[in-house]
Each structure stands twice: as structure tokens, then as C-alpha cells.
């Protein structure tokens, strides 16, 4: 049985403008009860977890709520926005054809079953057939949060393309990760992640051996998560904001077309999102483009979540509702500031 550590967050849900808002008063009062079942409960969690939850919300019209914006934390699949940015730059430069067809077998050389919460299988249900376009693979990376596409793109474009794309979006010092290699390292501690990923992609016998390994214990996975790729809320914010505003440069529109696949709320031009999750880790990065050209962004990084809390949070995803409201409602932003 393959290792099973990651559950990817590919959808933004619960963006209900009619948030209950019990707690958002004019002045800071007692913190709400901590939990993950509602936006108000997330305010309580954020208040109680100052060392494990980083938040950076910028409503684009002068309002900012921030805590630990520069601290590095595991970000799971949220890192895929960098791979998207590198893809978009390559397409804009004419060095990569988004309509090039890739055999599914080539795509799946980078796929380790059982490690992405079913993301790849869901993507294949949406994209049937023996081949897919590169643009379709990228859509699977963003929508379903497929883990095979990022390593395919890294292998195809090279590390410098990822580093340069991150820098173009204001994220300096980016170190390219291997999501496949990261998973292999869970069951093979100490291995070089990218070397292991390349071996997996090119050595069928090694691939079978990796897929046959037992699932490591929950405690082992919690320790491993602390060693996975990390970023700050400010780094993720910078890249999302640069893509949303166009400050990223050539390819921004191509990246936006992938990030903005969901219908925006009424009265807004677009919403873009890429989240992610690993055991005990939950990450959200959202931007909202208004019709007047202003852009709001919201990033939340949560680590070291107890198992039951993490599973419940993954089911509810109510923190997304909280972040959305903080981007659009001054009172909600003020209440979030109180919680920080």
C-alpha cells in the first residue's frame, strides 16, 4: 500500500455573504468559542493559536490584518501557484504550447497513488482519455490539486524557471520542492526528494517498490510535515496579488485564467484560490478582484492541528468564509484584527 499523507484542498467553499457574524462588534469583546464549525469559531481558534496560525488579509482599500506574516510554515499544495506562474511565463514566452498533448502514462510517471486525497482520480474523471493537454494538466493541479503535475512541470521547465517565476511575483529565495519526492521521503527518510522523484518517474521497479510500502504512523507523518516545503503568508500574498493585479508581467492573464475557474460572488470581477493540506496543516490563499480594479487578498497558514480538529476543518472549510468576509466587510476585518 502506498503512503497516504496528503489531502489537497482544491475548492473554495462556504463563501456566504450572510455570515452569522455574532462576534463582529464595534469594539473587541471576549473571543468566541474556539472551533472549526463556523467563521466565528475560527476567530476563537485564531485567537488561541498565536504560534501556529499566520494570517495576512489586505482588503485592497487600506485595511490590513496581519499576524506572523513573515514566519515560515508548511504550506502543502498552496505552493503550486509557483508552478502555475512558471507555466504561464513559459506559455507567454512561446516556449511551451498549452495545447500540446501529453500521454496520461507520461503524466502518471509522477503520480504516487494514495497520497493526494483522491485528487488525481477526480481530475481523471473530469479529463478522460489516453492523453491530455498541458493546460488541462495545469487545471488539474489547480482545481483538484493533482500532485503529479507540479513535478512534471519542474522536470519540463527546470528549477530556474520556478525560481524566476516566484521572484517575478515578489517571492524571493524560492526553493523548488518535489511533491512526489516529499511523499517518498516520508517512507524513505533522508533520501534526496528530487532525486527520488526522478528515479520514481524513470525506474518502474523502484516505482512499484515505493507504491508497496505501508502507511507510516500518524505520529511519523506529523514529524515529517515539519520538514516539508514552507513559506510565509507574505510570500504567498505577494505572488497572488501580483498575478491578480497584472504586476507579475507576461503570463499573468494565463495564470489568472486557471486560478479564476470558479464563479465570483455577485458584484465582483473574479475570485482566485489555491489552498492545500497535509496532516495537521491547512493553508488558504485567496484573492478577489473587484470591478473597480482593486484587489483584496487573504492568506491563512495553520500548522500542528490536532488530528480530529484537522479532519473536521477539512470537512467544513469554514475558515474560507471568515477570510472572504474579512476581505469585503470592514466590520469582519476589524473583528479578525481583534482575534489577532
Residue 138 vs residues 164, 283, 315: alpha-carbon distances, Å:
19, 20, 25
Phi first, then psi, for residue 292 (nearest 5°) are -90, 5
Length of the chain: 340
Task: Give which of 236, 235, 233, 154 is closest to 193, Cα–Cα.
Answer: 154
Cα–Cα dist 224/228, whole Å: 7
> Under a CB-based contact definition with an 8 Å cutoff, are residues 334 and 24 in contact?
yes
Along the 340 residues of the chain, how does pLDDT read in single tens digits?
233 344 455 455 445 444 444 444 457 989 899 999 999 999 999 999 999 999 999 999 999 999 999 999 999 999 999 999 999 999 999 999 999 999 999 999 999 999 999 999 999 999 999 999 999 999 999 999 999 999 999 999 999 999 999 999 999 999 999 999 999 999 999 999 999 999 999 999 999 999 999 989 989 999 999 999 999 999 999 999 999 999 999 999 999 999 999 999 999 999 999 999 999 999 999 999 999 999 999 999 999 999 999 999 999 999 999 999 999 999 999 999 999 9
Do the beta carbons of residue 149 and residue 95 sit within 8 Å?
no
- Looking at residue 115, the DSSP 8-state letter turns out to be S
Question: Is pTM, for the whole model, over 0.85?
Answer: yes
Residue 164 is predicted with a pLDDT of 98
| CA-closest candidate to residue 138, choices 257, 300, 278, 270 | 257
Going by C-beta distance under 8 Å and a sequence separation of 6 or more, which residues neighbour residue 128?
none
- pLDDT at residue 215 in the model: 87
Cα distances (angstroms) measured from residue 266 to each of 133, 192, 328: 32, 47, 12
Instruction: Report the pLDDT value the prediction gives residue 11, as an integer from 0 to 100.
Output: 52
- The pLDDT value recorded for residue 62 is 97
Q: Identify the pLDDT of residue 243.
A: 98
Place of cell 466587510: 329
Cβ atoms 163, 157 nearer than 8 A: no
DSSP-assigned letters across all residues of 209-245: HHHTSPPPPHHHHHHHHTTS-EE-HHHHHHHHHHHHH
pLDDT at 5: 44
- Which CATH class name applies to 79-199? alpha beta
Amino acid at each position: 500500500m502506498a503512503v497516504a499523507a496528503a489531502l489537497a484542498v482544491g475548492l473554495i467553499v462556504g463563501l456566504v455573504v450572510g455570515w452569522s457574524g455574532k462576534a463582529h462588534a464595534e469594539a473587541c469583546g471576549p473571543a468566541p468559542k474556539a472551533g472549526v464549525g463556523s467563521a466565528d469559531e475560527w476567530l476563537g481558534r485564531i485567537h488561541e493559536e498565536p504560534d501556529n496560525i499566520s494570517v495576512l488579509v489586505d482588503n485592497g482599500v487600506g485595511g490590513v490584518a496581519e499576524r506572523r506574516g513573515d514566519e515560515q510554515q508548511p504550506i502543502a499544495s498552496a505552493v503550486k501557484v509557483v508552478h502555475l506562474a512558471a507555466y504561464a511565463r513559459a506559455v507567454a514566452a512561446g516556449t511551451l504550447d498549452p495545447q500540446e498533448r501529453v500521454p496520461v502514462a507520461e503524466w502518471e510517471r509522477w503520480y504516487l497513488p494514495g497520497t493526494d486525497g483522491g485528487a488525481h482520480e477526480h481530475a481523471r474523471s473530469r479529463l478522460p482519455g489516453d492523453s491530455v493537454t498541458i493546460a488541462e494538466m495545469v487545471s488539474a493541479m489547480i482545481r483538484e490539486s493533482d500532485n503529479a503535475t507540479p513535478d512534471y512541470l519542474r522536470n519540463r521547465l527546470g528549477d530556474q524557471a520556478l525560481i524566476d517565476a516566484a521572484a517575478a511575483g515578489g517571492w524571493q529565495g524560492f526553493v523548488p520542492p518535489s511533491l512526489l519526492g516529499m511523499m517518498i521521503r516520508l517512507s524513505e527518510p533522508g533520501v534526496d526528494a528530487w532525486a527520488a522523484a526522478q528515479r520514481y518517474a524513470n525506474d518502474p521497479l523502484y516505482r512499484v517498490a515505493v507504491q508497496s510500502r505501508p502507511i507510516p504512523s500518524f505520529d511519523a507523518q506529523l514529524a515529517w510535515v515539519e520538514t516539508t516545503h514552507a513559506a510565509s503568508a507574505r510570500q504567498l500574498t505577494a505572488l497572488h496579488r501580483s498575478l491578480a493585479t497584472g504586476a507579475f508581467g507576461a503570463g499573468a492573464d494565463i495564470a489568472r485564467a486557471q486560478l479564476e475557474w470558479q464563479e465570483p460572488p455577485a458584484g465582483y470581477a473574479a475570485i482566485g484560490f489555491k489552498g492545500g493540506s497535509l496532516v495537521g496543516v491547512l493553508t488558504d490563499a485567496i484573492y478577489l478582484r473587484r470591478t473597480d480594479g482593486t484587489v483584496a487578498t487573504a492568506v491563512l497558514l495553520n500548522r500542528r492541528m490536532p488530528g480530529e480538529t484537522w479532519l473536521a476543518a477539512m470537512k467544513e472549510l469554514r475558515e474560507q468564509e471568515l477570510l472572504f468576509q474579512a476581505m469585503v466587510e470592514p466590520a469582519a476585518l476589524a473583528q479578525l484584527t481583534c482575534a489577532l
